[in-house]
């Protein structure tokens, strides 16, 4: 295998691991947040507006972590900075 193939394989594997590990934590966090919010709503139905508003803000913050991981994986697949470095070295030889 040449260097181009190795860079492509490493980029794809790294992007896959980034999405797998980067979405596992937020999924657990969102599930726990919703479960806790539902428990709170069952105990205090009068505070429903405050609890749901806080829940949605918290879910947005948790989801941003998964979105950052998605952006990193897309950069690794479509705009990999290692490609430019490798092409510059190959042209210099």
pLDDT in tens, 77-90: 888 877 777 777 77
Show the domains of the chain with their CATH numbers.
3-86 (1.20.20.10)
| pLDDT for position 45 | 93
Burial of residue 69 (CB within 10 Å: 0-12, 13-18, 19+) is buried
| pLDDT for position 1 | 75
Write out pLDDT tens, residues 6-53: 888 888 999 999 999 999 999 999 999 999 999 999 999 999 999 999
The residue-averaged pLDDT of 68-72 equals 93
């Amino acid at each position: 295998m040449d260097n181009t193939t190795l860079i492509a394989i490493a980029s794809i594997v790294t992007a896959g691991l980034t999405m797998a590990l980067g979405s596992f934590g937020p999924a657990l966090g969102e599930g726990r947040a919703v479960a806790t919010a539902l428990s709170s709503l069952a105990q205090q139905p009068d505070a429903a507006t405050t609890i749901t508003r806080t829940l949605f803000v918290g879910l947005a913050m948790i989801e941003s972590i998964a979105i950052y991981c998605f952006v990193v994986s897309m950069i690794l697949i479509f705009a990999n900075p290692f490609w430019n470095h490798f092409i510059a070295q190959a042209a210099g030889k």
